[in-house]
């Protein structure tokens, strides 16, 4: 039984179904952390006005947290959910570093199951997370999530 679980969200409906796959694997007092990794912002100009990187990141964080709260509200249930964001150049690295900091027992995530050229171009974040950590990682594929 897991007591502290990290579920990365990527905006896909499949990632939102991952909590439903954890039934029977979590302790009664488990904490589930829903995480969105956002890229670092860069300062830029829009219409002659400088948009500071920190403003841009704060906006991204607010949007990600709002999205996460919407997902958690739809899930409901008795578990304790927490929404978080982290900033990282690499999604996999952001997930792993956050998981270490929070001392989670399990990283449960969706994989797009890319193959061939798409896998070469976009990579496989779930596989990258597995390579970078000793924390248990459970990966769910589209066919599994379709049943939830």
Could you report the per-residue pLDDT of 59-116, keeping only the tens digit for each? 999 999 999 999 999 987 778 899 999 999 999 999 999 999 999 999 999 886 655 5
pLDDT tens digits, 34-58: 999 999 987 667 777 776 778 888 9
- pLDDT, residue 45, reads 73
The band of 120, judged by pLDDT with boundaries at 50, 70 and 90, is very low
pLDDT tens digits, 56-66: 889 999 999 99
Q: Which residues of 20-57 are buried (b: 16+ CB within 10 A; e: fewer)?
A: ebbeeebeeebbbbbbbbbeebeeeeeeeeeeeeeebb
> For the whole model, what pTM was predicted?
0.85
Q: Is-contact 24 13, C-beta < 8 A?
A: no
């Amino acid at each position: 039984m897991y007591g502290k679980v990290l579920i990365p969200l990527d905006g896909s409906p499949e990632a939102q179904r991952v909590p439903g796959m954890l039934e029977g694997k979590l302790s009664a007092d488990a904490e589930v952390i829903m995480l969105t990794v956002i890229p670092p912002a860069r300062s830029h100009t829009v219409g002659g006005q400088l948009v500071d990187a920190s403003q841009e990141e704060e906006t991204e964080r607010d949007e990600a947290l709002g999205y996460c709260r919407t997902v958690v509200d739809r899930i409901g249930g008795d578990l304790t959910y927490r929404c978080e964001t982290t900033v990282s150049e690499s999604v996999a690295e952001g997930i792993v570093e956050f998981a270490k900091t929070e001392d989670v027992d399990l990283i449960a995530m969706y994989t797009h199951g890319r193959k061939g050229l798409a896998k070469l171009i976009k990579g496989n974040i779930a596989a990258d997370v597995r390579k970078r950590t000793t924390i248990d990682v459970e990966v769910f594929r589209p066919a599994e999530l379709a049943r939830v």
